[in-house]
């Protein structure tokens, strides 16, 4: 079973008012640019991952924060979630087309930053 919410399209010629506190697009931007949202999107850029693989790929994130971040990104339609009915359930996450589209510039930014750092700056 795959879960994910698709956001409705804006009427042609109409834009969201991202500076208004009730703007849906603003909520999505907040989730993407949250402390962990960026790292989830970058971690999923190459392939889908199970929950524990994702947790291990992002050092410093707690299970609680990962679960909250994934829940928000799934609700925004950026990440899909697939549950295999096994015991215990196997849950896999991946990027939707919307998530890949949003994550691409983040990945490019991350790649540009890491290319510019000297080897002594690497952590």
Q: Record the pTM.
A: 0.76
Bridge partners for 84 per DSSP: 90
**Which tens digit of pLDDT belongs to each residue from 36-64?**
999 999 999 999 999 999 999 999 999 99
Distance between CA atoms of residues 100 and 48, nearest Å: 12
Q: Cis omega (within 30 of 0) on the bond before 109?
A: no
Distance between CA atoms of residues 53 and 43, nearest Å: 10
Comparison of pLDDT for 29 and 53, the residue scoring more? 53
Compute and round to an integer the Cα radius of gyration of the chain: 16
Residue 14: is its pLDDT beyond 80? no
**Which tens digit of pLDDT belongs to each residue from 94-121?**
999 999 999 999 888 888 998 888 776 5
Distance between CA atoms of residues 91 and 81, nearest Å: 7
SS3 call for 24: helix
Distance between CA atoms of residues 112 and 88, nearest Å: 40
pLDDT, the chain, mean: 85
What pLDDT sits at residue 81? Answer: 97
């Amino acid at each position: 079973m795959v879960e994910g919410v698709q956001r409705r399209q804006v009427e042609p010629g109409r834009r969201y008012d991202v500076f208004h506190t009730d703007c849906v697009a603003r909520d999505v931007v907040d989730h993407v640019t949250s402390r962990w949202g960026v790292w989830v999107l970058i971690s999923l850029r190459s392939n889908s991952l199970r929950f524990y693989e994702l947790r291990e790929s992002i050092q410093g994130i707690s299970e609680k924060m990962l679960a909250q971040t994934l829940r928000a990104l799934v609700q925004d339609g950026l990440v899909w979630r697939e549950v295999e009915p096994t015991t215990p359930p196997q849950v896999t996450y991946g990027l939707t087309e919307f998530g890949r589209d949003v994550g691409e510039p983040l990945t490019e930014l991350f790649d540009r930053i890491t290319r510019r750092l000297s080897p002594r700056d690497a952590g």
